[in-house]
Structure 1
C-alpha cells in the first residue's frame, strides 16, 4: 500500500499542468523591442525610424522659399541681390556666406549697381575666411565710380592704394624669400643637440 501511494503521488506530480507547459520563447537576438505612441513591437536591429529625406513642415517651407527665390534670382538681378543678402543674414533661409557672394556676383555681373558696390566693399575688406582682394575690389568699385557714386570713388582710391601696397610687399617678399628660406634650412643654429642618448644644451 505504501508503494502504490508513492506511485500515485509521483504520477500526480508528473502530470501537473505546470510541468506540461511549453517553456517561454528564447529572445530573438536579431530584433529589438521599440515602443512609441502606438505601442511596442519587435523590429529588426538594423531598423531605422528616422528618415533623413523627410523634412518638417518648417524645413519644407524654408526649402520652398529658397527654390522660389532662386528661380526669381535667375531671371532678375534685383532678386539675386535680395537672395545674396538673405543668405548672408540667414533671413528666412539657411545662412550661407559662400552662396551669398555667388549670388551677389551674379547680380553685379548683370549690372545691378548696389550689388557692384557691395562687392567692391566686400573684396576691399574681406569676409570671414575670405581675405581681401584689392584688385577685385578695384574692378567692382570702378563700375560704380564711373556712374558718379562718391563713396565708390573714395573706396576705389583705397582699393588702388591697397593693391599697390600689396604688390610692393609681394616684390619685397619675393626678393627676400630665398634668403629667409635658407636661414630656416641652414642659417639658424640649434640650441640643443642630441648626443649619446640624451639632449645637450649648446653653450
Structure 2
C-alpha cells in the first residue's frame, strides 16, 4: 500500500511539473473601448506617441490657421511651443512664431523676441545685437519691461565677461518667467478659440 501511495505522489508531482513547463497561451483576452478579444501577448495596448491626442491636434491645427491671420495668435503659438502646451515642445517653432508676431507689430511679441535673443534659447546662443534691436522697438512703444531689459543689457554689454555672467544668473529666472508669467491672448472654449480680452471673450474661431 505504501508503495502504491508513493507512486501516486510521484505521478502527481510529475504532472504538476509538466503543467508549469508548458508554454503559456500566445494570446490573452483584452477588453477596451473596442470590446473584448483575444490578442497576442506582446500586442501594444496603448502607445501615446502612435495614438496621439486627437482633440489636442485639432486645437493646434486651428490655432496655427488662426496664427497665420492674427499676430496675437502667433504669439500664443510661440508660447505654447516654448512650454510644450498642447503641442510638442520645439524651441525653433517657438522663436519662429514669436518673431512672426513681432514682425507684424504685436508689442508683447517684440519684447518676448528681445528676451529670447538676449538669453539665448536652448541650442541657440544669445544675440545681443538682435536683442537690443527688438527691445529698443518695444521700449520705444512704451513697454516698461523692454525698457528695463534694454538698460540692463546695455550696461552688461560694456563688459563681455560681465554680460555672460549676468545672462547666466538670469536664465533660470527667465525660464520660469516664460512658463508662468505670460498669459495667452486666445483661449479654447466649446470647440473654438476665443479672443480673450480683459473685458471678456470676443470673437470665436
When Rg is computed on C-alpha atoms for both structures, the one with the higher figure is: 1
Q: Deviations over 1:36-94 (max 9, x none)?
A: 432368xxxxxx878989625xx111111111110011110000011111222222333
Compute the displacement of 1:33 (Å). Answer: 4.4
2:80 counterpart of 1:86: yes
Compute the displacement of 1:135 (Å). Answer: 0.6
Contact 2:82 2:91 in 1 (8 A): yes
How far apart, CA to CA, are the structure 1 residues paired with 2:81 and 2:105? 20
Q: Deviations over 1:118-169 (max 9, x none)?
A: 1112211223333221011011011112213343233223334455544xx9
Higher normalized contact order (CA 8 Å, seq sep 6+, divided by chain length): 2
- 1:13-162 → structure 2 map (5 Å cutoff): 33-37=26-30, 38-39=37-38, 55-56=51-52, 59-162=53-156
Q: Note the aligned Cα RMSD (angstroms).
A: 3.2
How far apart, CA to CA, are the structure 1 residues paired with 2:131 and 2:103? 14
Contact 2:111 2:145 in 1 (8 A): no
Q: TM-score, normalization: structure 2?
A: 0.52
**Would you say how many aligned residue pairs link Structure 1 and Structure 2?**
130
Q: TM-score, normalization: structure 1?
A: 0.53
Contact 1:124 1:133 in 2 (8 A): yes
Structure 2: runs of 5 or more not aligned = 1-24, 31-36, 164-205
How far apart, CA to CA, are the structure 2 residues paired with 1:132 and 1:34? 56
Change (3 A) 1:54 1:156: closer
Q: Deviations over 1:85-116 (max 9, x none)?
A: 12222223332222111110110111110000
- Which residue in the other structure is 1:198 paired with? none
Change (3 A) 1:89 1:40: closer
Contact 2:111 2:135 in 1 (8 A): yes
